[in-house]
Structure 1
Amino acid sequence: MPRQLTVVHGDITEQSVDAVVNAANRAMRGGGGVDGAIHRRGGRTVLEDCIRRFPRGLATGAAGWTTAGDLPARWVIHVVGPNYTRGETDRSLLVSCYTGALAVADELGARRVAFPLVSAGVYGWPKQDAIAAAVDTLLTTESLVEEARLVAFDAATHDAIQARVDGVSR
């Protein structure tokens, strides 16, 4: 399991890590939120690699990797979270985003990985449960990742994630 779970208030595209996790959509062609930010900052090579490696996209709950382009990381690990607002409410799909990302990180040899809070934005997963799924999964899943970094874009989300981490670390 990760030796360290760090909570950061900031921009995931500015994290200097081995791999950044992207909350992608099924098409793997860029989008809004974290996905759009990663594609914008990473540049055209991220999209080109998505098209080459995932011509049919990825299924919900699945994970795969591409180059990170101009990001300060080596790889982007793309995961497709469930869209709660469209009725995809199976929590195991959300959990599989984190376990799958850790498995891909292990295959790549990535030891420091930055994660967004998958599905908690426009996909509408209830934030407290999204936080619980992320923290609990990252703390209990066997992996060679040394640092799993949960990156929150806003202060309130950062504080809620940190409270969960502090609560389970006691």
Structure 2
Amino acid sequence: MKLELIKGDITKIKADAIVNAANSSLLGGGGVDGAIHRAGGKQILEECKEIRNRQGKCKTGEAVVTSGGNLPSKYVIHTVGPIWNDNEEKSSKLLANCYLNSLKLAESLDVKTIAFPNISTGVYRFPKELAGKIAVETIKNFQSEMIEKIIFVCFDDENEEIYKKLLEE
């Protein structure tokens, strides 16, 4: 798998799937979640409502999929990151599960390219250095015959610098 780093807007990335740092309601919110819902249009929200009607809220660390709506990607994989609460062990495991479950879901959809935002580092206040380390380690340890390229999409300079260092190691 090829790893790539881009600073920019995940809603403009051309990939088979992009990952949304969703909240458990799946109904949109702030940050990446709000941007994806706004750019993707009503179709994504309608599909999220169908998922909720079927299974209830999405649990932390789990992942579900919708179409890409008006986005350049075919799919949006919605995963719910942990809210940082100083329980590093538990939070770290839940964050790793976000990446792992998103990758497994992507494989089941025959996804070749997938783009990830910096999950949980915004309003959920997960420490950016630790979140980056978990993301890169989890992805590097994931074996896939299907996925060819993983793109880390950083919205800000701080995350971009963190990921640059991690990917050089």
TM-score between the two structures when normalised by the length of structure 1: 0.93
**Per-residue deviation at 1:85?**
4.5
Name the CA distance, whole Å, in 1 between partners of 2:118 and 2:157. 13
Alignment of 1:1-170 (within 5 A): 3-55=1-53, 56-85=56-85, 89-143=90-144, 144-167=146-169
Residue 156 of structure 1 aligns to which amino acid in structure 2?
E
% same residue: 41
**Per-residue deviation at 1:87?**
6.3
Q: For structure 1, which segment, 140-149 or 73-82, has the greater mean C-alpha deviation from structure 2 after superposition?
A: 140-149
**Per-residue deviation at 1:155?**
2.1
Residue 107 of structure 1 aligns to which amino acid in structure 2?
S
Q: Which runs of 4+ in 1 moved over 6 A?
A: none
**Per-residue deviation at 1:86?**
8.6
Residue 79 of structure 2 aligns to which amino acid in structure 1?
V
Name the CA distance, whole Å, in 1 between partners of 2:118 and 2:140. 15
**Per-residue deviation at 1:57?**
1.9
Count of aligned pairs between the two proteins: 165
Q: Tell me, which stretches of 5 or more residues in structure 2 are unaligned?
A: none
**Per-residue deviation at 1:91?**
1.0
CA offsets, 1:124-167, max 9 Å, x none?
11110000001111111122211110000112211210111101
Q: Tell me, which stretches of 5 or more residues in structure 1 are unaligned?
A: none
**What do you get for the CA RMSD once the two structures are aligned?**
1.4
Instruction: Note if contact 1:85-1:123 (Cα within 8 Å) is conserved in structure 2.
Output: no
Name the CA distance, whole Å, in 1 between partners of 2:140 and 2:2. 8
**Per-residue deviation at 1:54?**
2.5
